[in-house]
């Protein structure tokens, strides 16, 4: 019996690690996703667990997403730049009950990849990119959003 209990615990721990595993994406892959066609407006929010203003603005984005099911939201974590512990990000997003997609940008030297994502980006966090593949419009911002600002920002690509 004890054996089965141990087995069960092992299996469930393996399962839960699986469930938490976040996708690691290269900058080139992310660039392709940003440029890909489609029907829906996509919001890419660049953040990290160590970035306090990023963490602060996340609920704003989550609320926007709930209110606008027609828009896709992706949180792109830059945690790997400072800390190789990927499980930390998964634990964090679980604890904060983040429902939007979370991916890990798997890149080193920022100078080699930031321009692939957005030329105007100096590297400061948080940063947000909104694209509308239907009309090709995109807007970028590298400041923390305050309550109510996100609606107007996303409207710029409509």
Nearer to other proteins, 7 or 143 (CB): 143
How many residues sit in the footprint of other proteins (CB under 8 A)? 34
One character per residue 34-73, x = contact with other proteins (rule: CB under 8 A): ----------------xxxx--------------------
Return the H-helix or E-strand segment holding 14: helix 2-20
- From the CB of residue 62, how many other CB atoms can be counted at a distance below 10 Å? 17
Residue (of 60, 54, 76) closest to 129 by Cα position: 76
CB neighbour list of residue 52: distance below 8 Å, 6 or more residues apart: none
Nearer to other proteins, 74 or 117 (CB): 117
Alpha-carbon span 11 to 18, nearest angstrom: 11
Sorted by sequence, the CB contacts under 8 Å of residue 67 that are 6+ apart come out as none
By CB atoms closer than 10 A (0-12, 13-18, 19+), residue 60 is middle
Q: Which of 23, 83, 134, 136 binds other proteins (CB under 8 A)?
A: 83
Nearer to other proteins among residue 14 and residue 47 (C-beta): 47
Question: Which residue number, 53 or 133, has a Cβ lying nearer to other proteins?
Answer: 53
For position 148 contacting other proteins by CB under 8 A, the verdict is: no
Least Å distance, CB 128 to other proteins, is: 10
92 binds other proteins (CB under 8 A): no
Please identify, among the stretches 15-23, 59-67, 88-96, 124-132, the one whose residues bind other proteins according to the rule CB under 8 A: 124-132
Q: Strand pairing partners for 77?
A: 47, 104
Interface with other proteins (CB under 8 A): 50-53, 78, 81-84, 108-112, 114-115, 120-127, 139, 141-144, 149, 152-153, 155-156
């Amino acid at each position: 019996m004890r054996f089965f209990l141990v087995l069960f615990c092992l299996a469930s721990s393996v399962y839960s690690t699986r469930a938490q595993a976040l996708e690691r994406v290269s900058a080139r892959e992310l660039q392709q996703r940003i440029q890909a066609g489609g029907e829906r407006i996509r919001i890419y929010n660049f953040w990290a667990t160590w970035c306090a203003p990023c963490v602060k603005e996340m609920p704003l984005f989550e609320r926007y997403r709930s209110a606008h099911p027609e828009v896709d939201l992706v949180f792109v974590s830059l945690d790997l730049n400072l800390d190789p512990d990927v499980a930390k990000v998964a634990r964090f997003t679980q604890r904060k009950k983040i429902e939007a997609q979370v991916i890990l940008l798997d890149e080193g030297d920022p100078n080699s990849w930031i321009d692939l994502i957005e030329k105007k980006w100096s590297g400061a966090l948080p940063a947000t990119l909104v694209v509308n593949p239907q009309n090709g419009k995109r807007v970028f911002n590298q400041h923390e959003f305050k309550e109510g600002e996100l609606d107007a920002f996303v409207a710029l690509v409509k």
